[in-house]
Structure formats: C-alpha cells, structure tokens
Structure 1
C-alpha cells in the first residue's frame, strides 16, 4: 500500500468516527469569535473538566488565552444554520456573526442563545500538538436552553448533502 493509499484509508476510517457538534466562543478587548468544533469531550466526571481540540493558528485561541474564559454551546439538530456560519473561514465568519442569536455571559463571552445548552469555562491549561492545541477548561456556569436532539458530525454532513 502506498503512502497516499494509506492516508486515504485512514481518512475514510476517521470519517466513521462520530462526534457531537459544538460552538466554541471567545472574546477579549472588543474582539470575539465563534467556531465550530467536533472534538470536545468531558475529561473527568467528578472534576468536571472539558477538553477541546482546535487548530492552534485560529484567532480564537489567542482570545481565550487573554480572557481566561470560553464558552461551549451544544448544538441541536435545529442549529444547522448556526453551525454553517461558525464553520466559515475567519473573514467570512466575522461578517456573519451579527446574524446569530447570541447570548453573553457577564464577562461578555458569546454563546449561541438558541443552542441546547452552554457552559462558561475557565481556561485552565493547553497542550500543544503538531498543528493543534488541546484546550482544557473547568465549567463555572452554564444553562440548559432547550430540549432536543444533539447535532452530530454525521447528521451535519447528511443535512449539507
């Protein structure tokens, strides 16, 4: 098997993994961003920490480091439009953020007001990998905003066609 064939095989296997879809929110000094994430997990039930994998070059990483806070919005099956906006490139996303129904924490960190739920987290640590960063946070506030079915990565791809 060639290296290209192996890489294609691995990509196809990874597509079989299923993840929920979330929106990571960050803000600092008048700048804000919201990006779509599928690699979010609870790292400990008792300690309540969360881990999010993002591209280390994304502007939101700097916002989170400076503010020391971030939000995670849990997307529902009805949040496809919001997911599409948060999946846009950085420049396109900036133009469309105003179209989203945003809530704000007391520290002015944005979250999706029409998502299923959100956490406000203290940014506690990060771990650099090759191109990505694992953000580690501890939930300090949050709210269940509505009931419904969570949006998964597979659902997202099916809905997009």
Structure 2
C-alpha cells in the first residue's frame, strides 16, 4: 500500500519482560554480543504471531503487568507458543490512550467485552458481539480468529 507515493514500511514487534542474559558470550576465538533467555524467546514468538493476527505489536502479560494505565490494549488470545506448555495471555498494543479515536476506543471496549463473555462461558453472546464488530472491521483477522475459537465451544 502506498501513501503520498511512498511504500508503507511494515514491521512486527513482540514485547516481553523478564530476566535475560545480555553481553559478550562465547570464547576467545568466537565472541558475540547477544541476548539470550526464555523471555527473549517468548518475545520472538510474539513477533511471529503478529502475522497470524494481522497486528503490528503484541505484548505479553509479563509486560502488561508493568505498564502504566496509559495504553489501550486488546486481549488477543490465550496462546500456547513454541517452547511453552501453558497458554500465554497476549495483547495487541493499540495506542496510547490519548491518541485513540473515540470510535476506535468503543470498538476496543466491545472486543474486550467479548473476552469477558468468553471467560464467563457465554460463548453465544461473545460470538454475537464479535460478528457485529466484524461488520465494522471486516479486515480484522483477530476478530475472525476469536470467532472461530468460540465456535469450537
């Protein structure tokens, strides 16, 4: 997609927080400055999930727990990522709260309401909300994925 004659720069970001090891790692013959650890691996997996969900920035629960209330977030899923046995709650970082349009904020609230209905096992109500939301946002792959998950219940 082009804007003002320039191609759009697309990137995907995965953000996770936790303990890591960073620095020069290796031997005298081969030394590399790198970052390693389980938390790094999770961030990498989150980055990859953006392609599936059609998002740009996915954030882990570890990071959300440390964020101030300045950001609009959308729960995307409870995903099992490679290397983990338990599901990880993942969020889309939508915007800073002051930078989000009122209509987007309402759509975000509706999506998050469907998550609450899902947790309460009120799947039909969640599906109804999401199908209405899909009319407003027909290209939102996250909504489609969540509807598919709900139909499996």
* Structure in which a larger fraction of residues adopt helix: 2
* Structure in which a larger fraction of residues adopt strand: 1
What TM-score range do you get, normalising by the shorter chain? under 0.3
Larger RCO: Structure 1 or Structure 2 (Cα < 8 Å, ≥ 6 residues apart)? 1
TM-score, normalising length from structure 2?
0.27
TM-score, normalising length from structure 1?
0.26
